[in-house]
Amino acid sequence: MIARTLAAALVIPFAALFAEPSPAADDVSLLKDLTSVIALLGLPCGQVVSAKRQADNDHLATCSNGNRYRVFVNAEGRVVAQKR
Amino acid sequence: MKPAMRAVGIFLFALVAGCAELRKAPPSPIAQSEPQPSAPQVPEPQASEPQAAEPHVSEPQVLPPPVTTPPAAAAHAKAPPKVSVPSVAVQSQKNEKPVAVTKPLETPLDVAALQARLRDTKAIGVLTKLALKNQVDDLLKKFRAHYQSGQKTGVAALRQPYDMLVLKVLSLLQDTDPSLARTISASREAIWSILADREKFNSLT
């Protein structure tokens, strides 16, 4: 009985850990995408370490150097990074 | 005491045996370096055949694939007396390189296919692709403006922004989609020849 409880206590947290790998993968690809965009636009950033989605194609990116940019697609279809 | 002495003896023996194993390791670097003498064997036929064929500069790059296979077979024949596994691994790497070099040369520039590959690649994110497209459009606008202005001077001034843009694309692709990066890199001059020619540019856009 104790063994079963112990096994359950070990298995459940591990299952919870590995249950949602895809959002993390999406986050990583989004961070890479934002990093590339900001670099492509010639803005100082380093790497994007976190991003907050504000709307479709509209993100608030925080860089490793502390800079924050709003990266979005404007009405003309251009990708813009505005420093915050 | 005796069992302790035995244990120490066994331990020392194991240590010596371990050192003996380590000394056996050097033959593998020798085996890896053995293909290096065979490396000159590969270029020899390559060098001889282009000289025999024609004095064209581009042909030596096209010829290697058919030429490299016989030396590989010859090397295989020589391999058995040596350590076979590392030599085969190195030879397979050698066989791959010439094939990769010849592919871009054999295929002519296909702008539409390149566009499709760039659009479909997962190496670049959606936002980055859009930002790249914006920059490509900006550059094309500059070319269009240059040709519409009626200037008779060349488009050499646009070569630097073009090169910068190609480098940006290559830097985005080189780690995650190296084959596409190689294709674009190989097509760089062909694309420029289209952009720099007014008639070709007008027919393309």
* pLDDT on residue B193: 92
Examine residue A78 and state whether it is found in any structural domain, yes or no.
Answer: yes
DSSP string, chain A: -HHHHHHHHHHHHHHHHHS-HHHHHHHHHHHHHHHHHHHHTT---S-EEEEEEEETTEEEEEETTS-EEEEEE-TTS-EEEEE-
A-interface mutation test, from B127, B132, B133, B134, most A Cβ less than 10 A away:
B127
Residues on chain A touching B132 (C-beta within 8 angstroms): 40
Residues on chain A touching B172 (C-beta within 8 angstroms): 36, 40
Burial of B180 (0-12, 13-18, 19+ CB in 10 A): buried
User: Are B51 and B79 within one domain?
Assistant: yes
Q: Which structure tokens are listed for B193?
A: 């020849």
Confidence at A1, pLDDT banded by 50, 70, 90? low
Round to whole Å and give the CA distance between B26 and A46. Answer: 43
Residues on chain A touching B130 (C-beta within 8 angstroms): 73, 77-79
Beta carbons of B127 and A34 less than 8 Å apart: yes
User: Are B156 and B94 within one domain?
Assistant: no
Q: Which structure tokens are listed for A62?
A: 């925080």
* pLDDT on residue B6: 77
Examine residue A9 and state whether it is found in any structural domain, yes or no.
Answer: no
For residue B125, give the nearest of A32, A41, A77 by CB distance: A32
Domain count across chain A: 1
Confidence at A11, pLDDT banded by 50, 70, 90? low
User: Are B192 and B155 within one domain?
Assistant: yes
Domain of B64 in residue numbering reads as 2-106
B-interface mutation test, from A36, A53, A70, most B Cβ less than 10 A away:
A36
Residues on chain A touching B168 (C-beta within 8 angstroms): 40
Q: Which structure tokens are listed for A11?
A: 């298995």
Beta carbons of B127 and A73 less than 8 Å apart: yes
Identify whether the C-beta of residue A79 lies closer than 8 Å to the C-beta of residue B130. yes
* pTM of the shown model: 0.56
User: Are B102 and B129 within one domain?
Assistant: no
pLDDT by residue (tens digit) across B71-111?
444 444 444 444 444 444 445 454 555 555 554 455 567 78
For chain A, say whether B131 makes contact (Cβ under 8 Å). Answer: yes
User: Are B45 and B62 within one domain?
Assistant: yes
pLDDT at B173 over 70: yes
Beta carbons of B130 and A77 less than 8 Å apart: yes
Round to whole Å and give the CA distance between B93 and A25. Answer: 32
Residue A71, φ and ψ in degrees, nearest 5: -105, 120
Domain of A68 in residue numbering reads as 23-83
Number of CB pairs < 8 Å for A and B?
Answer: 40
Q: Closest chain A residue to B130 measured between Cα atoms?
A: A79
pLDDT by residue (tens digit) across A23-68?
566 689 999 999 999 999 999 999 999 999 999 999 999 999 999 9
Beta carbons of B130 and A79 less than 8 Å apart: yes
Please give the mean pLDDT across all residues of chain B: 68
* pLDDT on residue B110: 79
Round to whole Å and give the CA distance between A49 and A66. Answer: 9
User: Are B9 and B95 within one domain?
Assistant: yes
Domain count across chain B: 2
Residue B67, φ and ψ in degrees, nearest 5: -75, -35
B106, B125, B146: which is the final residue of a domain? B106
Identify whether the C-beta of residue B101 lies closer than 8 Å to the C-beta of residue B61. yes
Identify whether the C-beta of residue B137 lies closer than 8 Å to the C-beta of residue B144. no
Confidence at B67, pLDDT banded by 50, 70, 90? very low
pLDDT by residue (tens digit) across B29-49?
333 433 344 444 444 444 344
